[in-house]
Amino acid sequence: MKQSDQLATLFAHAIWRLDPDAGSLRVQMYRQLRDAVTEGRVAPGTVLPSTRDLAAVLGVSRSTVVEALDQLRMEGYLVTRQGAATRIAALDPIHLNNVAKRPTATEQHWEQADGSPTLGVQHWLQDDPPTPVTIRAFRPGLPDIRAFPAQVWATHLGRRARQPASHDLSYVGHAGVSSLREQIVRHIAETRHVVARPEQVIVLPSAQTAFDVAMRCTLREGDTAWVEDPGYPGIRTLLRAHKARIEPVPVDVEGLCPAGQRSRPRLIYLTPSHQYPTGTMLSLARRLELLEVARAHGAVIIEDDFDSEFQAHGQPVASLQGLDRNGVVMYVGTFSKSLAPGLRIAYLVVPPAYVGLAETIVSGTGIGVSIHVQLAMADFMAYGELRRHIHRMNVEYSKRLRTLHRILSGAGYELILPSKLLGGLQLCIGLPEPLIDLDVVSELQSRGLVALPLSALCHGQEWRGRQGLLLGVGLVPTDEVEPAARTLCAALEQCSETVARRAARRARRTPQ
Ligand SMILES: Cc1ncc(COP(=O)(O)O)c(C=O)c1O
C-alpha cells in the first residue's frame, strides 16, 4: 500500500463511520468531520488526504467527498492555501468548548430551562400550566373545535394560498392586511359597537400577543396595573414580564370595583362583557367610573372581549371602547373562542394616538399573522361565514350552558356572582364550605371530567380562600351535557359526604 493510501485509511477510519442506511453520505461526512474538529479529536493544522484517496477508502464517489469538504471549507473548519493541501483550521480550543456536543439520536435529552428572566416563564407555569388538549366535559378555555367549519375555511385558505397577489407577499401587511382590518372593523362595529377606523386595528396571532403589544405601548418598569380579582392568569404572566406592580382589585356582581383603591394605575385590565372567571358584567356605572379613573390617572384600559360574541339572552352589551371619548381603551378581540385558537388570529384596536407606536412594536418584534391566513379570514368574514358560525354555535353553547346551569342549581350549586346566566363558553359556580375545589377537581378527574378550581384564580384579600369551579361547555356535545352534569353533581355529592364523614370522625376523636 502506498504511503498516501495508508494515511487516507488512517484518517478516514479515525473520523468517519458512514452508514448507507442513515441518509445522505455527504451530510454524514460533513457532520462527522465537523464534530471531530469541534470536539478536538483532530488537531488543528492536520493535513487532509486527497479527495481521490478518501473517496477510494470510504467507498463513496469523489464528488460526495468534494462537496462535504467544500461545505466545511466554506464554514471555516478547513483551510486551503493556493497550491497547498487542505488542512484543519486553527480554531481556539477554548472557544470550541462552547460548541454543543452533538448527542446521538438515542442519547438526546432536553434540559428544562428554569425560567425566562424577561417573560417569567416559571411564574406562568405556576399560574397557567399548558395543558394537553383533553376533549372532555367541562374543560374551560376552548370552543367546540370539532365544529370548526374546516371545509369552508380550507376553500378560502386554499384560494388565497394558490393565488397570492404580489403586493401582499412583501412586508406590507405586517400589522394587518387592509381587507382584514376593514372586515374586523365592520364586524366589531356591528356586534360590539366598537368605534374605530381600519388603521387602528392591529392583527396579531392571539389576545395574549395583543396584551403584550398594549403593555409595550404603555408600561414602564414599576408601573401599577390593576387586574380583576379573581382574574385571568395570562394577564399576570405578562405584567410580571413587564415588571409591573400587579394590584388585584376585587370583583363584585357589578364587575371590578375601584372604590377604596389608593394606587394610581397606569394600566387597568378588564373583561367587561363576561368577567373572567365569574361571568358577571361590568355595570354601566362602573364603566363610566373606570373610564374616568383612566382619564384622571392617564391610564390605559385593556378591554379583553374574549367570548362576548356568545350570548345566552339576546344582544350583547356594547363594548367599553364604544363609550370611550378620551382614547384610553385598547380593545382586544380574538378568533380563539369564536372559531379556534389554532388559527392564531386576534386583534388589538388601539386609540388613534397609539397607531404608529403599535405598528412600530409589531414590526420591531416581528409578530404577525401569515398573509394568506389573513386574506382567507377576510374572505371568510366577507362571505358571512363567521357570522353564520357564531350564530350556529351561540345556539349550541346557550343550550349547553342552560342545561348545565339548570342541573347544578337543581342540586343547590349556584353561579358565584351574576344572578342570571349571561353567556360565553363557561360558567362559574361557588362551592359551599367546607368543600375544597382542588379536591373536587381531582374527584372529577377520576370520573373523566375536567374543571378549573376558582381558588387558583383568586389573589387578593377579598377573594382569597373562596372555593368554586370554572366549567366550560365548548368541548361537550349538547346532548352529552346532561349526563356529564349529573356525573358532576354525583362527584360533588361524593366530596360532600367524604368531608362530612371526616368532620364526624374528628368530632368523635375530640374530647368533650
Ligand atoms: C379571558 C381570556 N382572555 C384571553 C384569552 C386568550 O386568548 P388567545 O388564545 O387569543 O390568546 C383567554 C383564553 O382562554 C381568556 O380566557
pLDDT digits over 425-475, tens only? 999 999 998 899 999 999 999 999 999 999 999 999 999 999 999 999 999
C-alpha cell at 227: 387586574
Residues 154-168 have pLDDT tens digits of 999 999 999 877 777
Cell reading at 27: 451530510
Indicate whether 63 and 76 sit together in one domain.
yes
- Average pLDDT of span 256-262: 93
In a domain, 130, yes or no: no
Q: Under DSSP, is residue 278 helix (H, G, I), strand (E, B) or coil?
A: coil
- Residue 238 counted as domain residue: yes
**Sequence-separated (6 or more) residues with CB below 8 Å from residue 162:** none
Residue nearest to atom 13 of ligand 1 (CA): 141
**What number is the average pLDDT over the span 166-185?**
87
Q: Is residue 420 part of a domain?
A: yes
pLDDT at 19 over 70: yes
Q: The cell 370595583 sits on which residue?
A: 257
**Integer-rounded Cα radius of gyration of the chain:** 30
Residue 38 has a pLDDT of 83
Atom of ligand 1 nearest to the CA of 334: 10
Q: Can you tell me whether residue 330 is helix, strand or coil? A: strand
Are 31 and 97 in a shared domain? yes
Domain check: are 408 and 372 in the same one?
Answer: no
**In b/e form, how buried is each residue of 104-122, taking b as 16+ CB within 10 angstroms?**
eeeeeeeeeeeeeeeebbe
Ligand 1 site, residue 209, Cβ cutoff 6 A: no
65 found inside a domain = yes
Compute, in angstroms, the gap from residue 235 CA to the centroid of ligand 1. Answer: 9
* pLDDT, tens digit, 9 for 90 and up, residues 128-150: 444 555 678 899 999 999 999 99
Note whether 253 and 295 are within 8 A (CB): no
Least confident of 107-116, 319-328, 443-452: 107-116
Strands 329-334 and 346-349: antiparallel
Look at 22-26, 207-211, 313-317 and tell me which has the smallest mean pLDDT.
313-317
What band does 126 get if pLDDT is binned at 50, 70 and 90? Answer: very low
Statement: residue 1 has pLDDT above 70: no
170 Cα to the center of ligand 1, angstroms: 30
Q: Of 46-50, 323-327, 378-382, give the range with the top mean pLDDT.
A: 378-382
CA distances from 126 to 121, 150, 233, 237, 468 (A): 9, 34, 10, 10, 19
- In this prediction, residue 76 carries a pLDDT of 86
Pairwise CA distance, residues 75 & 171, whole Å: 31
Residue nearest to atom 3 of ligand 1 (CA): 306
- Kindly report the CATH number assigned to the domain that includes residue 416: 3.90.1150.10
The 10s digit of each residue's pLDDT in 465-503 is: 999 999 999 999 999 999 999 999 999 999 999 988 888
- For residue 208, report the distance from its CA to the centre of ligand 1, in Å: 7
Name the residue of 209, 306, 308 to mutate for ligand 1: max ligand atoms within 8 A of Cβ. 306
Q: Which residue has the higher pLDDT, 370 or 419?
A: 370
Co-location of 377 and 399 in the same domain: no
**Within this chain, do residues 423 and 330 fall inside the same structural domain, yes or no?**
no
* Predicted pLDDT at 140: 93
- Quote the pLDDT of residue 106: 46
**275: containing domain:** 175-386
| Confidence grade of residue 117 (pLDDT, cut at 50, 70, 90) | low
- pTM to 2 decimal places: 0.84
Residue 366: what residue type?
G
- Residue 363 confidence (pLDDT): 92
Query: In this model, does residue 111 exceed pLDDT 60?
Result: no
CB 294 within 8 A of CB 268: yes
The pLDDT of residue 125: 44
Residue of 312 and 284 predicted with greater confidence: 284
In this predicted structure, what is the pLDDT of residue 313? 75
Residue nearest to atom 7 of ligand 1 (CA): 207
Q: Is residue 354 in contact with ligand 1, taking CB distance under 6 Å?
A: no
Residue-level pLDDT at 445: 92
Residues 421 and 484 grouped into a single domain: yes
Helices (H) and strands (E) in the chain, counts: 17, 13
Q: What is the pLDDT of residues 199-229, one digit of tens each?
A: 999 999 999 999 999 999 999 999 999 999 9
Say which CATH number the domain at 270 has: 3.40.640.10
Residue 494 forms part of a structural domain: yes
Where does a domain end: 386, 418, 445?
A: 386
Q: Evaluate whether residue 197 is within a structural domain.
A: yes
Q: Is 149 in the pocket of ligand 1 (CB under 6 A)?
A: no
Confidence at residue 39, expressed as pLDDT on a 0 to 100 scale: 85
Average pLDDT over residues 11-39: 90
348 and 399: one domain?
no
**Cell matching residue 343:** 388559527
Q: Which of 33-42, 224-233, 273-282, 482-491 is the least confident region?
A: 33-42
Q: Are residues 335 and 195 in the same domain?
A: yes
Mean pLDDT of 46-62: 93
Banded model confidence at residue 99, pLDDT cuts 50, 70, 90: low
pLDDT of 452: 96
Residue 168 Cα to ligand 1 midpoint, Å, equals: 29
CATH of the domain at 89: 1.10.10.10
Average pLDDT over residues 11-19: 91
343 and 401 fall within a common domain? no
* Backbone φ and ψ of 461, nearest 5°: -55, -50
The total number of structural domains that make up the chain: 3
Give the end of a domain, one of 319, 351, 386.
Answer: 386
Domain boundary among 81, 107, 133: 107
**49-74: buried (b, 16+ CB within 10 Å) or exposed (e) per residue?**
bbbebbbbbbebeeebbebbbebbee
Residues 357 and 442 in one domain: no
Q: Is residue 195 situated within a structural domain?
A: yes
- Looking at the domain assignment, is residue 99 inside a domain? yes
Q: Residue 45 class from Cβ within 10 Å (0-12 exposed, 13-18 middle, 19+ buried)?
A: exposed
Half-sphere exposure of 47 (CA within 13 A, CB side): 7
Query: What is the model's pLDDT at position 71?
Result: 86
Quote the pLDDT of residue 245. Answer: 97
Q: How far is the CA of 410 from the centre of ligand 1 (A)?
A: 30
Per-residue pLDDT, 500: 86
pLDDT at position 75 is 81
442 and 319 both lie in a single domain: no
| Predicted local confidence at residue 107, as pLDDT | 45
Do residue 412 and residue 423 come from a single domain?
yes
